[in-house]
Amino acid sequence: MENDVSVWSELEVSENQHWITAGFRGRGDLTFEGVLRFSGHWNGTIHGEGDDNHLIVLEGAVLTGKIVAASISIEGGDLRDVTIEAQEIHVCPKGRVKGRIQSGRVRIDEGAIIEGEIAMAPV
C-alpha cells in the first residue's frame, strides 16, 4: 500500500500524557508525571509526582494497593482494597471503589459505587 498513511503518523502526542492499556498487568511501584490514563491491572503503589498530576482510571482497569495523586478521576474500573490520597477525586457513574479515600474535595456521581471510608481532609 504505497500511499497508505499510518494512524500513528497522524496521532498528536501530548508531552505529559501517558497511557497504560487494558492488556497491561503489573505490580510494584509506579510513578508518573502529568496525566496518566490507566486501563490495565495493577497491584501496588501508583504515585503522581508534581503538583499538577492527574490519574484517570478508565473502564476495565483493576487496581489494588495505594494511590497518591493530586487529582484522580475514576471513569470506570474496579479499585479493590485501595487507599487513595488526593487533593481532589471524582468518581464517575461507572467507577467502583472499595477501600479508603482521603481528599480535600470529593465528587461522587449517581451510579458510582463506593464501599469503605471517606475522610474529607486535605492531603
The answer to whether 42 and 28 have CB atoms below 8 angstroms apart is no
Q: 66-115, pLDDT tens digit by residue?
A: 999 999 999 999 999 999 999 999 999 999 999 999 999 999 999 999 99
The answer to whether 40 and 59 have CB atoms below 8 angstroms apart is no
Confidence of residue 4 (pLDDT cuts 50, 70, 90): very low
Quote the pLDDT of residue 63: 97
Q: 33-61, pLDDT tens digit by residue?
A: 999 999 999 999 999 999 899 999 999 99
